[in-house]
Amino acid sequence: MELSISFPGKSTAEANELAADLQSEIEMMNDHVEVQRVRNHADTLDFGATLLLVLAAPAVIELVKGPGTELAKGIAAWMKRTGTSISVKLGDKDVLVKNVDSDDLPGVMAAIASGTPPKP
């Protein structure tokens, strides 16, 4: 399963820095996720302003099971620490995520993955 994370409203330079920082965080917290930086435009010289997360089976199960997901909680903690909003894309679903608590993001991520609306 592939999940992409981008940084709406940020310049390419800012998004590059945020992508690098979040990539480091994700790589430290989860062994079942391969993180790649992807350029938004092939004709630019940036290092990649979007993160592509390739989730191995254990990470997919963890993501879909909802609350308790360490990956989602780690991303939420990073968002809070940096004050950053993210756009999460999974298949044809693209969701803007902002101002979430580390306890809320696992449910949001599980809802995106399963195609059901998150519970309030």
DSSP-assigned states of every residue in 54-74:
EE-HHHHHHHHT-TT-HHHHH
Is 11 part of any domain? yes
* Site of tokens 């940036």: 46
* Residue 109: domain span: 2-39+47-114
Closest by CA position to 72, among listed 12, 64, 84 = 64
**Whole-number pLDDT of residue 17:** 93
**Whole-number pLDDT of residue 67:** 46
Give the helix/strand (H/E) hosting 6. strand 2-6
**Whole-number pLDDT of residue 42:** 64
Is 120 part of any domain? no
Distances (CA, A) of 116 to 46, 51, 107, 119: 35, 23, 10, 9
Total domain count for the chain? Answer: 1
Is 33 part of any domain? yes
Closest by CA position to 74, among listed 108, 106, 99 = 106
* Model pLDDT for residues 39-65, shown as the tens digit of each residue: 766 666 667 789 888 876 666 656 656
Is 119 part of any domain? no
Strand partners, 86: 97
**Whole-number pLDDT of residue 18:** 94
- Written as tens digits, the pLDDT of the chain (120 aa) is 788 999 999 988 899 999 999 999 888 886 678 888 887 666 666 677 898 888 766 666 566 565 447 777 788 888 988 989 999 888 888 888 888 777 777 777 777 766 655 555
Task: Give me the CATH number covering residue 105.
Answer: 3.30.70
**Whole-number pLDDT of residue 26:** 87
Query: pTM value?
Result: 0.79
Q: Extract the tokens encoding 112.
A: 């995106």
Is 110 part of any domain? yes
